[in-house]
């Protein structure tokens, strides 16, 4: 099933979400993409890219410099779209980055917008749900919410890149986390140097 859902929320680490969208789109898979208002604020802050969910597919163009046909944009408040229903089959969803707010709402089943509803759908349909939180330190509430999600079948994949690749750059660290998300989806990738293996693809911004 070559259909994925990618959502960006207001956690720090917008670069992870942008790179995930870019690499997943480059596989030719259909990528349903949505982002929260808070994500747009963090993107502006961290990537200096002005985006507004109201811009529709313009958000994809702003993030990727292109709007590939296989990336389908949804406003995060629009619940009348296929990914809000379990009957629309996908291979799963990544929330990257995942704010602790969104993580908590998904953990308690409070689907107040499309991001949370699409995640809820993945859990109820037993599809892959990957959440990429970035917060430190963690409160007991954060930890309990992550445990709850893990028990419900989600993969909690913290944005904690390994530093063992050698010659690390920010781009390589971003690719490390994105590679682990793609691994969870079962998408072949050579974004990171795997322990015990030599080759990896260079990040375009390293050239
Ligand atoms: C610049 C910036 C960085 C933020 N970093 C984080 C973060 O790393 N983790 C987190 O959980 N929330 C972070 N927040 C707070 C969330 O954006 C905020 O809780 C927001 O309400 C989340 O909304 P959302 O879940 O709808 O995206 C950050 C906010 C801003 C403006």
> Domain total for the chain?
1
Question: Using a 6 Å cutoff on CB, does residue 184 contact ligand 1?
Answer: no
Q: Which atom of ligand 1 is nearest to the CA of 45?
A: 1
> Could you tell which of 43, 53, 99, 113 is best to mutate to test the pocket of ligand 1, judged by most ligand atoms within 8 Å of the CB?
99
- pLDDT, tens only, 155-197: 999 999 998 877 789 999 999 999 999 999 999 999 998 888 7
Residue 166, pLDDT score: 74
Residue 164, pLDDT score: 83
Question: Using a 6 Å cutoff on CB, does residue 11 contact ligand 1?
Answer: yes
> Which ranges constitute the DSSP H helices of the chain?
14-26, 37-47, 58-64, 100-107, 114-124, 140-151, 170-185
- pLDDT, tens only, 159-168: 999 988 777 8
Distance 186 CA to ligand 1 centre (A): 28
pTM for the complete prediction?
Answer: 0.95
Distance 87 CA to ligand 1 centre (A): 31
**DSSP readout, 1-55?**
--EEEEEE-SSS-HHHHHHHHHHHHHTT-EEEEEE-HHHHHHHHHHH-----GGG
3-8, strands of its sheet edge to edge: 71-73, 30-35, 3-8, 92-98, 128-133, 155-156
Distance 38 CA to ligand 1 centre (A): 6
Question: Using a 6 Å cutoff on CB, does residue 36 contact ligand 1?
Answer: yes
Give me the domain span that covers residue 81: 3-206
Question: Using a 6 Å cutoff on CB, does residue 100 contact ligand 1?
Answer: yes
Residue 193, pLDDT score: 85
Q: Measuring CA to CA, which residue among 120, 119, 121 is closest to residue 132?
A: 119
For residue 150, give the CATH number of its domain: 3.40.50.1950
Q: Which atom of ligand 1 is nearest to the CA of 100?
A: 11
Question: Using a 6 Å cutoff on CB, does residue 158 contact ligand 1?
Answer: no
Compute mean pLDDT per 10 residues along the chain, 207 residues long, and list them.
Answer: 94 98 97 98 98 95 95 98 98 98 97 97 98 98 98 98 86 96 96 78 61
């Amino acid at each position: 099933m070559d259909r994925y859902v990618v959502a960006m929320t207001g956690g720090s680490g917008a670069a992870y979400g942008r790179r995930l969208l870019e690499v997943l789109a480059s596989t030719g898979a259909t990528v349903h993409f949505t982002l929260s208002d808070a994500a747009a604020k963090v993107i502006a802050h961290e990537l200096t890219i002005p985006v507004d969910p109201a811009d529709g597919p313009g958000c994809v163009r702003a993030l990727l410099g292109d709007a590939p046909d296989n990336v389908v944009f949804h406003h995060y408040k629009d619940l009348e779209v296929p990914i809000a229903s379990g009957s629309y089959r996908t291979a799963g969803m990544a929330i990257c980055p995942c704010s602790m707010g969104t993580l908590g709402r998904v953990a308690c089943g409070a689907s107040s917008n499309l991001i949370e509803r699409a995640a809820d759908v993945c859990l109820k349909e037993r599809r892959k749900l990957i959440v990429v939180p970035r917060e430190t330190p963690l409160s007991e509430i954060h930890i309990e919410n992550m445990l709850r999600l893990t028990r419900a079948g989600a993969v909690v994949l913290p944005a904690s890149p390994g530093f063992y690749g050698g010659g690390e750059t920010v781009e390589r660290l971003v690719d490390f986390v994105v590679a682990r998300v793609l691994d969870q989806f079962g998408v072949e990738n050579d974004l990171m140097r795997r322990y015990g293996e030599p080759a990896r693809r260079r990040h375009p911004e390293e050239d």
